[in-house]
Amino acid sequence: MTNMAALKASVIREVQTVLSRPWDIAMFIVMPVIWCVLIAGLFGNGLIRDVPVGVVNLDHQPESIELEIKLDALPSVKLFSYTTPLEASDAVKRADIYAYLVIPPNWLDRSGTPQAASLELYFPKTLYAIATTLELDIKQTLLADQMQKLERLAQTAGLNSEQAKRATSLVTVHSITLGNIAFNFQAYILPTLIPGILHLALALAVGSRLLAEWRDKNVHDWINIAGGSPLIAFLGKALPWWMLYTLYGFIYVAVMTGYLGWWVQGSLLLWLLGLAFFMAVMTLLPMFLIGVFMPLGWVIVLSCTVGYIAPIFPYTGFSYPLDSMAEPVQWLAMTFPLTHYFQFQGEQWIVAAPLGHSLYTLGKIAIFALVWFGAGYALFKKRVTDECRLESGEAL
């Protein structure tokens, strides 16, 4: 039997076995899609809308009422009025509102005097995403309102509207947010969670299907179908799952860049090739873990797979910069392939990095393949050989 014929027979055996097992279909084919769809649907249009915010207006002047109207017009804010700061504070504690603003008495009358009182904003920073969005939107509204008042004040000194605008805008800042101008959570969260879910599900699928041969005492038959080659037997297991999850990944890219409109700034082809390579590397993790931990049992192997992959999301740098982490944690983050894939994805999707730079990032992912295959295949082959001898002895 040629190697290609053995590989084809191994792939067919894997596909037929999986399709005959509803539990495998549900867990490794259907459930990852459900996870991704549920997470994608979690964010809706991706923008924070109608967050309950309280206002305590102790001024009751036309200017402060106008400010309330401007705040209520913000898409992210749904305004509720309270009579006292204590009442608003209690509403925050009851989770009726997420923040509140206090407008002091005679707010504008005392502006610019030693007795001037400031507007007070209260945000529970533990709800980081909500608090940050509200703080940014409300402060920008307050700043715009204050600039309008300064322009009117300048006009009372004899300046025309254009001169007043220049006089009150000596410094103008134009901020450009690459890739996610409105801080949309679709572009912020999904590009991390979806690849993270897919690479975890792929590792579990390949690992579970490999371990099923040990659990069912079918390793000897599995290797025979592969022409006696553990490598071909492994490829027969891994290839169908790699193709399936790479397809899932391509659909994710198509939805992000096409349906949702987050178009790629660099090379779409390179992004897809990098994603396929990342998925291929992840199929090698179960081989490595079986080689190292199989003497402790298949449960330990699966536990190590989950324990290695599942907690890594904070280490990708998507929510907290890697450069701000403690140096030991930075080194730890480098030991997770998703960290490097996330960097590569941003290079092509957002900043259109040069080809050489992105290939260097993919080279970091390739190191995992070299380590897992180089150190793991010999051990994996030994585990297969030992199990084949054991099953042959039992058969005799």
373 lies in the same domain as 271: yes
- Say if residue 8's pLDDT is above 90: yes
211 lies in the same domain as 266: yes
Q: Identify whether 177 is part of a domain.
A: no
What does pLDDT average to over the chain?
85
126 lies in the same domain as 199: no
**Between 40 and 302, where is the model more confident?**
302
Q: Hey, how many other C-beta atoms are within 10 angstroms of the C-beta on 124?
A: 14
87 lies in the same domain as 57: yes
Domain final position from 107, 141, 168: 168
- Specify whether the CB–CB gap between 378 and 290 falls below 8 A: no
203 lies in the same domain as 129: no
Bridge partners (DSSP) of residue 80 are: 54
Q: Identify whether 349 is part of a domain.
A: yes
The pLDDT assigned to 9 comes to 93
Which residues fall within 8 angstroms of residue 72, CB to CB, at 6 or more apart?
Answer: 78, 79
Report the pLDDT averaged over residues 225-248: 95
Q: Give the pLDDT confidence of 78-100 residue by residue, as tens digits.
A: 889 999 989 999 998 888 888 88
Q: Give the pLDDT confidence of 99-118 residue by residue, as tens digits.
A: 888 988 877 765 555 566 67
The number of domains in the chain is 2
Burial pattern 330-364, b for ≥16 Cβ within 10 A else e, equals beebeebbbbbbbbbbbbbbbeebeeeebeebbee
Q: Identify whether 351 is part of a domain.
A: yes
- Say if residue 396's pLDDT is above 70: no
221 lies in the same domain as 280: yes
- Say if residue 291's pLDDT is above 50: yes
116 lies in the same domain as 25: no
Cα 396 to chain center, whole Å? 52
Q: Give the pLDDT confidence of 382-393 residue by residue, as tens digits.
A: 999 999 988 887
Q: Identify whether 175 is part of a domain.
A: no
Report the pLDDT averaged over residues 68-86: 87
71 lies in the same domain as 115: yes
278 lies in the same domain as 373: yes
Domain that holds residue 99: 51-168
**CATH number of the domain bearing residue 93:** 3.40.190
95 lies in the same domain as 135: yes
280 lies in the same domain as 372: yes
